[in-house]
Amino acid sequence: MTKLLAFAEIKDGDIRNVSFETIAAARQIDEGAEVVAVVFGNKNVEEAANQMIQYGADRAVTVTHDNLENYTSDGYTQAAMAVIEQENPDGMVMGHTSAGKDLSPRIASKLDSGLVSDITAIDGEDFVRPIYSGKAFEKKSIKDGKKFITIRPNNIAPLDQDESRSGDVASLDVEIKDIRTIIKEVVRKASDGVDLSEANIIVAGGRGVKSEEGFEPLHELADVLGAAVGASRGACDAGYCDYSLQIGQTGKVVTPDLYIACGISGAIQHLAGMSNSKVIVAINKDPEANIFNVADYGIVGDLFDVVPKLTEELKAIQVK
Amino acid sequence: MNIYVLMKKTFDTEEKIQINGGVIEEDGAEFIINPYDEYAIEEAIKLRDEHDGEVTVVTVGDEESEKQLRTALAMGADKAVLINTEDDLEEGDQYTTVRILEAYFEDKDVDIILAGNVAIDEASGQVGPRLADKLDMPYVTTITELNIDGDTVNITRDVEGDEEKIETSLPLLVTCQQGLNEPRYPSLPGIMKAKKKPLEELEIDDLDLDEDDVEAKTETVEVFLPPEKEAGKVLEGETDEQVKELVSLLKTEAKVL
Ligand SMILES: Cc1cc2nc3c(=O)[nH]c(=O)nc-3n(C[C@H](O)[C@H](O)[C@H](O)COP(=O)(O)OP(=O)(O)OC[C@H]3O[C@@H](n4cnc5c(N)ncnc54)[C@H](O)[C@@H]3O)c2cc1C
Ligand SMILES: Cc1cc2nc3c(=O)[nH]c(=O)nc-3n(C[C@H](O)[C@H](O)[C@H](O)COP(=O)(O)OP(=O)(O)OC[C@H]3O[C@@H](n4cnc5c(N)ncnc54)[C@H](O)[C@@H]3O)c2cc1C
């Protein structure tokens, strides 16, 4: 039987949704495979391991160590290699997140294996990924060695949670030592709890928002929609919001059901981070703005006029 | 200080992408230095100016890559190395590229290697970490600040918008993120000087590699364009009407509310 590892990622004590998506991806690679969840951390890893099982993993292997509190390449590599040595899997799935991007190439290198990164769909033996800033796609296959992939969050739907599902959770003892890159401090910028890469609806503002206060109407719209607020690089560089809100090639890559771009021109580097969204709405006063070329619905107008009215209209229908 | 930069020439993704015979049409396309590698080149030049030493820019590419290497030299790099695979290899992937780079670096005395965080065309972000592993060097990805004091290196790393302050030591590999610096434009005297700077050209044979050593682990099965999107609906009328119509479309047509 094929055996595939599914990596859980824990951030600020919470398991990220993409972890559950790795299990679904493993099942798409081989429905009959044994899927083994892998969970690392400095505490409470069993809880995450059990959640992984409820989302479809058959069993879980955990490594608990003080040096696994924060992600470091050296620490996680030691833990991952110990698990791989014990399990000798046929493949691995990780999220294409900051940690996944940093770790997966190193593990692939250690195993002299191929790695297909940033996958948005699985088609039999082939892996589909966006290339050229999302303007094209390619299908890749792995010729030999382990099937090792990273998946873009919010593209491969997780399986339904089954709280009655149980499985073995085994802890593996690994000495995690000689970390060569020491984290002295973590400066948290990400504002409220919503993880942009997991959000179903995003309201994003650009330089057209004009000031920090200008984001207020966007927050109000986001509140009625239960949405997360994001931004373009332009808005971040201008100091209207924090860089943790940035969407695009250098920021977060998002795939929500609905993306509402307000005062964003639609530069290629921004599109690279959001053009895969299912439905795109553009609000921009310039009818020639490039964002209208990717939008499903567009309103040409002043966002300070349109956005509050949109919020009111949504409130009105919610009351009904 | 021995400073190396990994540079890839990339297709300018601002351009229209077309597919011809199953591959991206490159004829007539504009090629540029991968933007994230420009940050790497700029940072390398700054490091050299501060700590002395030499900046060598290395690329695995073809004859055409000389243009981007000359640009890097014109910005201020000291030497360039082109590992030209045109005559020897038909196919390759990240494994291939890194296997070649590993062989190149085998006998080099390296203090720091700067790479881009991602190449905007194939965009896997694998090359930096894979190479660091092969060279058994620590690495830090997506850096936005770099300070070297003796053997101690202090780095700010971008982690999805959060910042990590990291301490590490040389030798080291880093991958550069936007925000690290503002890359300079080549100056006219820089461009003149670049013509005389050394540009070494190697083939895989010079690195004691043959085709089998670098055989790709992955294969491209198909390249395709996303389904042509129907032109979006630009709504008309007064703002109030537009907003009402939008909400109704989002509910009934797009079904996302
Ligand atoms: C290597 C590299 C990486 C990059 N990475 C990213 C990235 O990850 N993410 C990203 O976003 N950018 C990125 N960029 C920057 C990108 O090229 C653009 O500069 C940026 O996206 C522009 O932001 P903007 O659309 O908010 O601003 P602008 O381009 O200035 O657009 C502002 C828009 O607002 C509209 N507007 C103004 N006032 C109003 C109003 N009252 N009502 C409605 N509309 C209004 C204008 O018509 C205009 O279209 C990157 C650039 C480089 C070189
Ligand atoms: C003969 C040959 C044919 C190839 N054909 C294909 C193909 O058809 N499809 C395909 O996907 N790939 C192919 N490759 C590999 C491709 O050219 C890239 O080198 C490799 O894909 C790098 O991966 P990336 O673009 O994802 O870069 P990333 O890993 O995203 O790049 C990150 C950073 O690594 C460094 N880097 C990346 N590539 C190079 C390089 N070539 N030289 C120096 N530094 C580099 C840069 O600093 C870059 O910013 C081929 C390679 C060879 C040798």
Q: What residue spans define the domains of chain A?
A: 3-171, 196-319
Report in angstroms the alpha-carbon separations of A261 from A201, A289, B169, B197, B243: 11, 12, 42, 47, 15
Rounded Cα distance, A90 and A30, in Å: 11
Binned average pLDDT, 10 residues per bin, chain B of 257 residues: 98 90 90 98 98 98 97 98 97 97 98 98 97 98 97 96 96 98 97 98 98 97 90 94 97 95
What is the mean pLDDT of the segment spanning A107-119?
Answer: 97
* Interface test mutation site (partner B, options A104, A132, A177, A178, max chain B beta carbons within 10 A): A132
- Kindly determine whether residue A105 and residue B130, on different chains, have CB atoms separated by under 8 Å: yes
Whether the pLDDT of residue A211 is over 80: the answer is yes
User: Of A8-17, A162-171, A245-254, which gets the smallest average pLDDT?
Assistant: A8-17
Amino acid of residue A165: R
Q: Scanning every residue of chain A, which has its alpha carbon at the shortest distance from the alpha carbon of B23?
A: A138
Cβ of A248 closer than 6 Å to ligand 1, yes or no, is yes
Cβ of A275 closer than 6 Å to ligand 1, yes or no, is no
Angle between helices B94-105 and B127-134 (to 10 degrees): 40
Q: What is the CATH number of domain A3-171?
A: 3.40.50.620
pLDDT tens digits, residue range A222-266?
Answer: 999 999 999 999 999 999 999 999 999 999 999 999 999 999 999
pLDDT band at A12 (very low <50, low <70, confident <90, very high): confident
pLDDT at A188: 87
Residue among A28, A79, A84 at smallest CA distance from A56: A28
At B237, give phi and psi (nearest 5°).
100, -170
pLDDT band at A175 (very low <50, low <70, confident <90, very high): very high
Amino acid of residue B130: R
Q: Residue length, chain B?
A: 257
- B197, with CB counted inside 10 A (0-12, 13-18, 19+), is middle
- Given A131, A197, A301, which is nearest B239 (Cβ)? A301
pLDDT tens digits, residue range B10-67?
Answer: 998 888 899 999 999 998 889 999 999 999 999 999 999 999 999 999 999 999 999 9
Residue B22: how many other CB atoms lie within 10 Å:
10
Whether the pLDDT of residue A53 is over 70: the answer is yes
- In this predicted complex, what is the ipTM? 0.96
By most ligand atoms within 8 Å of CB, the mutation choice from B84, B127, B175 for ligand 2 is B127
End-to-end CA distance of chain A: 54
Instruction: Classify strands A59-64 and A34-41 as parallel, antiparallel or unpaired.
Output: parallel
CATH class held by domain A196-319? alpha beta
Whether the CB-CB separation of B226 and A277 falls below 8 Å is answered with: no
pLDDT at B15: 87
What is the mean pLDDT of the segment spanning A193-199?
Answer: 84
Q: Scanning every residue of chain B, which has its alpha carbon at the shortest distance from the alpha carbon of A119?
A: B124
Q: What is the CATH number of domain B2-214?
A: 3.40.50.620
- Given B13, B229, B239, which is nearest A305 (Cβ)? B239
By most ligand atoms within 8 Å of CB, the mutation choice from B4, B5, B8 for ligand 2 is B8
- B199, with CB counted inside 10 A (0-12, 13-18, 19+), is middle
Tell me which long-range contacts A222-226 makes (C-beta under 8 A, separation of at least 24). A224/A311, A224/A314, A224/A315, A224/A318, A225/A201, A225/A258, A225/A314, A225/B257, A226/A200, A226/A201
pLDDT at A311: 98
pLDDT at A193: 61
- Kindly determine whether residue B179 and residue A113, on different chains, have CB atoms separated by under 8 Å: no
Residue with tokens 């058994």: B136
Count chain A–chain B contacts defined by CB atoms under 8 A.
Answer: 243
| In chain B, ranges of CATH 3.40.50.620 domains | 2-214
**Nearest-CA distance A128 → chain B (Å):** 9
- What stretch of H or E contains A40? strand A34-41
> Residue A266 annotated as binding?
yes
Whether the CB-CB separation of B23 and B39 falls below 8 Å is answered with: no
Ligand 1 atom with the smallest distance to the CA of A246 is 9
Taking the whole predicted model, whether its pTM rises above 0.90 is answered as yes
Residue among A151, A129, A76 at smallest CA distance from A106: A76
Report in angstroms the alpha-carbon separations of A100 from A94, A95, A105, A152: 6, 5, 9, 10
